[in-house]
Amino acid sequence: MAALAVETRGLSRSFETVEAVRSLDLSIAEGEMFGLVGPDGAGKTTILRLLCGLLAPSSGRAAVLGRDVVKEAEALKSRIGYFSQKFSLYGDLTVDENIEFFAEIHRVPGFKPRREELLAFTRLTPFRGRLAERLSGGMKQKLALACALIHTPRIIFLDEPTTGVDAVSRRDFWKILSGLLRTGITIVMTTPYMDEAERCTRVGLLAGGRLLAADTPQALKGLMRGAVVEIICPEIRRAFAVLKDLPGVTEVQLFGDRLNAVVGDPDREIPRIESALAAAGITVAQRRVLAPSLENVFISVTKEGPPPGGEIQPSSLEGRSPQGTITGGRS
């Protein structure tokens, strides 16, 4: 069984009347890339701040790298890195100076070789003399990551690291994370992008401060209730209006020139869909049953609740070897 990088039991945090994190039980193995996904207000950022010791829990406990995040917070500082949601570096300092500043905060002796390594790793060497405020969004994210890594932490917590950057910068950032994962570092991240979540070793689905499920992306797709039918037809918006109220169709999503309809039994419901569209004067040009995405699964779980037998339990880590390649996904 892999050693645990993170373990929480009954971890909760409230802000006045709002219960942001509810009784979180979670285990993350060393060398794993674990993604937390959920809508705004699901508790993702609060969980990371609890695990970094920046917030005290209202109840329950959490351990990171075998140390209690409350009682041993000071000892943990040199072993963890934190990438906050908002750019928190110094705009009037250069790339070099920002990294040097964080090296001094973490009391890293002889940091310059490490800085050179990180600049090359993040491809920021040509921009080392540029002020941080003059960097592009993607470069700022890379600089923030370099600053979080300057003291060589064993685990890093990334809070929506690619939000607000262009597609090319997202792709480059993921190449960097893939390289980090191969070094054995543990990565715990939050993301609003389901395609990014699919690249993680395991994913936790959050809603209302509660962990609904935690498993590999492929295993989570097995929780999907029903099937996803892709439909291509003219007058796609009118087709959407017809299907969203059709009995037997539990969810409809519009994607450009096509739509996805979630149904319980495709053999029974597809003829009904085609009949309903035909009655509205809309001909189906093409349709097929698709493998569910994590977004489909998340909507299914949050709308209909856990499957019979109670709340979905996080998967066991026994026998897993999480360190290595990043799975699936699109950039």
- The span from the CA of 290 to the CA of 181, in Å, is 31
Length of the chain measured in residues? 331
pLDDT value, residue 168: 85
What is the Cα–Cα distance from 322 to 116, expressed in whole angstroms?
29
Between CA 322 and CA 331, with CA 326 as vertex, the angle to 5 degrees is 155
Q: Which residue has the tokens 């998340």?
A: 298
What was the pLDDT predicted at 166? 83
* Residues paired with residue 11 on neighbouring β-strands, in sequence order: 24
For residue 258, give the 3-state DSSP assignment.
Answer: strand
Q: What is the DSSP string of 275-310?
A: HHHHHTT----EEEEEPPPHHHHHHHHHHH-SPTTS
**Tens digits of residue pLDDT in 55-110:** 999 999 999 999 999 999 989 988 999 998 776 788 899 999 999 999 999 999 99
Residue the block writes with tokens 């053999």: 267
Over residues 227-242, the pLDDT tens digits come to 999 999 989 999 999 9
The bridge status of strand 155-159 relative to strand 80-83 is: parallel
Rg of the Cα atoms in the chain: 22
So what's the pLDDT on residue 300? 83
Q: Does domain 227-304 have CATH number 3.30.565.10?
A: no
Lowest mean pLDDT among 7-16, 49-58, 178-187, 294-303: 294-303
- CB of 111 closer than 8 Å to CB of 118: no
What is the layout of strands, in order, in the sheet containing 227-232?
A: 249-255, 258-263, 227-232, 286-290
Whether domain 4-213 has CATH 3.40.50.300 = yes
pLDDT digits 0-9 by tens, 28-39: 999 999 999 998
Helix axes 112-121, 137-149, angle to 10 degrees: 140
pTM: 0.83
- By CB neighbour count within 10 A (0-12 exposed, 13-18 middle, 19+ buried), where does 40 fall? exposed
According to DSSP H, which parts of 244-265 are helical? none
β-pairing, 18-29 with 4-15?
A: antiparallel
Helix H segments across the chain? 44-51, 73-76, 95-105, 112-121, 137-149, 167-182, 194-197, 217-221, 236-243, 266-279, 294-304
Tell me whether domains 4-213 and 227-304 share a fold.
Answer: no
CA trace torsion 77, 113, 85, 91 (10° rounding): 120
Give the start-to-end residue ranges of the domains of the chain.
4-213, 227-304
